[in-house]
Structure 1
Amino acid sequence: MILFPAIDLKDGQCVRLKLGDMAQATVFNDSPAAQAKSFEDQGFQYLHVVDLNGAFAGESVNGAAVEAILGTVKFPVQLGGGIRTIAHVESWLAKGLARVILGTVAVRDPALVREAARKFPGQVAVGIDARGGKVAVEGWAETSELDVVELAKRFEGAGVAAIIYTDIDRDGILTGINWDSTLHLARAVSIPVIASGGLASMDDIRRMTQPDARVLEGAISGRALYDGRIDSREALALLRGERV
């Protein structure tokens, strides 16, 4: 079970949003690379990064910050936001990313996702962001009529490495992961699912250790880590099955 610390990039800074609203951004670090190194030093094994500006623009906007992170840390990094073409995927993987996350394009052009997954096995994930159970796209600015499970099933057998499922209604407000919908999705598909949005406290970490949650690959934590609501050493020990 992997706990992914999150770095969300807006205008070159490390921020956290509230309910996916770009106008409600709190800056936590002016140096994303330094923040990434801090997470690595704390013992995390995988980093989750989102280019928020890129998600709206449809192309990389915070590329320099991402490259600085890749040049600073040794643990694997996955990136989402603004990756919309095979060329984008190829370019980022060549720069050292372990995995790219395709979100909007998974709705607009699922064939491209399947092609990318075939071409880069194990290195392409799908980001499914939902509001009220319906898939949102374009940096969460638009909500479609597409059901989360319906979209996820389109990629069964395509070689997609993981699905990052975000409940937008819980993102950044520390109310806890939507375990019901997340586990429902994980049980509905064979693709590994990563929970995102709302992880609030050590209670969520303990919930991750329960038998029914083992179907997940892991969960992403942002604000709770930055605010100190989660003790990283204790959380990682719990997920390793150690007594705390």
Structure 2
Amino acid sequence: MILYPAIDLKDGQAVRLVHGEMSSATVFNDDPAAQALAFQDAGCDWVHLVDLNGAFAGRPVNGAAVDAILSRLTVPAQLGGGIRDMATIEGWLQKGLARVILGTVAVENPDLVREASRAFPGQVAVGIDARKGMVATKGWAEETSVTATDLARRFEDAGVAAIVYTDIDRDGAMGGPNVEATDALARAVSIPVIASGGVSSLDDLLRLKAQGTIAGAISGRALYDGAIDLAEALAALRA
């Protein structure tokens, strides 16, 4: 199971939110590129990036910060937030991102996900953000009547590289991930599922790994707070 250390970008800074509320942002580093390099130096295989402003604006906002991160990293990075058309997808991949994560458009324009997955094999993931099992879009500001499982199943034959599943109620709250829901989603589809939201300890990571169904896990606040030692966690997950 791959551990993805997370850098959430708001106004050019690395922050963490609680339950996706922009007003709850805590700034952890005003130099996101330095933070990314620290994660890389600790031995991570990937870095997970989110353009929080972009998720609300529907277009890239923290492009300069992402560019600075990509200029420092040698490990692959994935990015979600505000990616809603083919030109933006292509632009990010040309800049060196290994993978883009499509969230809102997966609900509103699933044909774009299919088109992008065909055009860029292995470089397109679907972000499914759910509150009590129901998908939320536009930076989690709008709830839909679509279940996370139903949305995931729509892309079984699309060739997407992964599904990033976030339990919104767990995100940033340091209360543990929703292991049961993530495992159930992973069992419902053949697409690799990456868990996000609430990962707050090494034990959380080991519980996710023990399911045998979950391909990866994203952690942010626990790494910044020191609740998880990144190097230790990487070693444990590779054992």
User: 2:226 corresponds to which letter in structure 1?
Assistant: G
Matched, 1:233 2:210: no
Matched, 1:224 2:222: yes
Q: Aligned-pair distance for 1:203?
A: 1.2
Q: Which runs of 5+ in 2 are unaligned?
A: none
User: 1:227 corresponds to which letter in structure 2?
Assistant: D
Q: Aligned-pair distance for 1:157?
A: 1.2
Q: Aligned-pair distance for 1:82?
A: 0.2
Q: Aligned-pair distance for 1:215?
A: 1.4
Matched, 1:192 2:154: no
Matched ranges for 1:63-74 at <5 A: 63-74=63-74
Partner Cα distance (2:209, 2:190) in 1: 20
Partner Cα distance (2:83, 2:206) in 1: 33
Q: 2:212 — aligned with what? A: 214
Matched, 1:114 2:114: yes
Q: 2:103 — aligned with what? A: 103
Percent sequence identity is 67
Matched, 1:169 2:202: no
User: 1:62 corresponds to which letter in structure 2?
Assistant: N
User: 1:182 corresponds to which letter in structure 2?
Assistant: T
Q: 2:11 — aligned with what? A: 11
Partner Cα distance (1:74, 1:234) in 2: 21
Matched, 1:154 2:154: yes
Task: Note if contact 2:179-2:208 (Cα within 8 Å) is conserved in structure 1.
Answer: no
Partner Cα distance (1:43, 1:126) in 2: 26
Task: Note if contact 1:114-1:159 (Cα within 8 Å) is conserved in structure 2.
Answer: yes
- Name the TM-score, length of structure 2 as normaliser: 0.99
Partner Cα distance (2:223, 2:30) in 1: 17
Task: Note if contact 1:186-1:192 (Cα within 8 Å) is conserved in structure 2.
Answer: yes
Name the SS for the 1:60 alignment partner: coil
Q: 1:82 — aligned with what? A: 82
Q: Aligned-pair distance for 1:26?
A: 0.1
Partner Cα distance (1:217, 1:206) in 2: 12
User: RMSD of the TM alignment (CA)?
Assistant: 0.6
Structure 1 outlier segments of 4+, above 6 Å: none
Partner Cα distance (1:18, 1:64) in 2: 24
Name the SS for the 2:122 alignment partner: coil
Task: Note if contact 2:81-2:103 (Cα within 8 Å) is conserved in structure 1.
Answer: yes
Q: Aligned-pair distance for 1:202?
A: 1.5
Task: Note if contact 1:209-1:238 (Cα within 8 Å) is conserved in structure 2.
Answer: no
Task: Note if contact 1:167-1:197 (Cα within 8 Å) is conserved in structure 2.
Answer: yes
Partner Cα distance (1:189, 1:30) in 2: 38
Partner Cα distance (1:195, 1:107) in 2: 19
Q: Aligned-pair distance for 1:30?
A: 0.3
User: 2:73 corresponds to which letter in structure 1?
Assistant: V
CA deviation map 1:50-96 (0-9, x unaligned): 00000000000000000000001100000000000011100000000
Q: Aligned-pair distance for 1:208?
A: 3.0
Q: Aligned-pair distance for 1:189?
A: 0.2
Q: 1:29 — aligned with what? A: 29
Aligned length: 239
Q: Aligned-pair distance for 1:36?
A: 0.1
Task: Note if contact 2:14-2:28 (Cα within 8 Å) is conserved in structure 1.
Answer: yes
Task: Note if contact 2:165-2:182 (Cα within 8 Å) is conserved in structure 1.
Answer: yes
Partner Cα distance (1:115, 1:202) in 2: 38
